[in-house]
């Protein structure tokens, strides 16, 4: 089954304790992205990657790191989490643009609810 998976689904942690949220897709998509969802603010893009070893900042990159060493994985790293990073996080992936494929369709993971106390 074509899917984007995220782990963990729920995480409660304390300020300053480094954490990693994993994201994996099995659709051979070139593009991958991380978003955070907050009430009244919708989804905001944190980082995105257009291919292996190619990453770029979205609208809210501060306090986050990413890496893209393999095509299927795109982990999100919080080196020193703070309470304002309490949020619902989504990973997504998409094919590179092509006139043939449905490359505009972005597939989302189920979300990771993070609480930082």
Partner 1 sequence: GEDVEQSLFLSVREGDSSVINCTYTDSSSTYLYWYKQEPGAGLQLLTYIFSNMDMKQDQRLTVLLNKKDKHLSLRIADTQTGDSAIYFCAESQSGTYKYIFGTGTRLKVLA
Binding positions for partner 1, rule: CB under 8 A:
4, 31, 33, 35, 40-45, 48-50, 56, 58-59, 90, 92, 94, 97, 104-106, 108-111
**8: cis peptide before it, omega within 30°?**
yes
Tell me the torsion sign for CA atoms 3, 5, 48, 34.
positive
* DSSP 8-state code for residue 26: S
Tell me how far apart the alpha carbons of residues 14 and 63 are, in angstroms, rounded to a whole number.
15
Pairing type for strands 87-94 and 76-78 reads unpaired
Which residue, 16 or 110, has its beta carbon nearer to partner 1?
Answer: 110
For the bound state, the minimum distance from the C-beta of residue 16 to partner 1, rounded and expressed in Å, comes to 29
Half-sphere exposure of 12 (CA within 13 A, CB side): 1
Q: Which is nearer to partner 1, 16 or 34 (CB)?
A: 34
Distance in Å, CB of 105 to partner 1, minimum: 5
Minimum separation from the CB atom of position 15 to partner 1 (A): 27
DSSP label at residue 96? P
**Is the Cβ of residue 23 or residue 116 nearer to partner 1 in the bound state?**
23
Provide the minimum distance between the beta carbon of 89 and partner 1 in the complex, in angstroms, as a whole number.
11
Pick 73 or 106: Cβ nearer partner 1 = 106
């Amino acid at each position: 089954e074509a899917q984007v998976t995220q782990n963990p689904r729920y995480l409660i942690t304390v300020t300053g304790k480094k954490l990693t949220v994993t994201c994996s897709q099995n659709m051979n998509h070139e593009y991958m992205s991380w978003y955070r969802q907050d009430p009244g603010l919708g989804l905001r893009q944190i980082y995105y990657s257009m291919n292996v070893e190619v990453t770029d900042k979205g609208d809210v990159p501060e306090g986050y790191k990413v890496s893209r060493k393999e095509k299927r994985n795109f982990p999100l790293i919080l080196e020193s989490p703070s309470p304002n990073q309490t949020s619902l996080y989504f990973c997504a992936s998409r094919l590179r643009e092509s006139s043939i494929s449905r490359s505009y369709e972005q597939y989302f993971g189920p979300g990771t609810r993070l609480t930082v106390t």
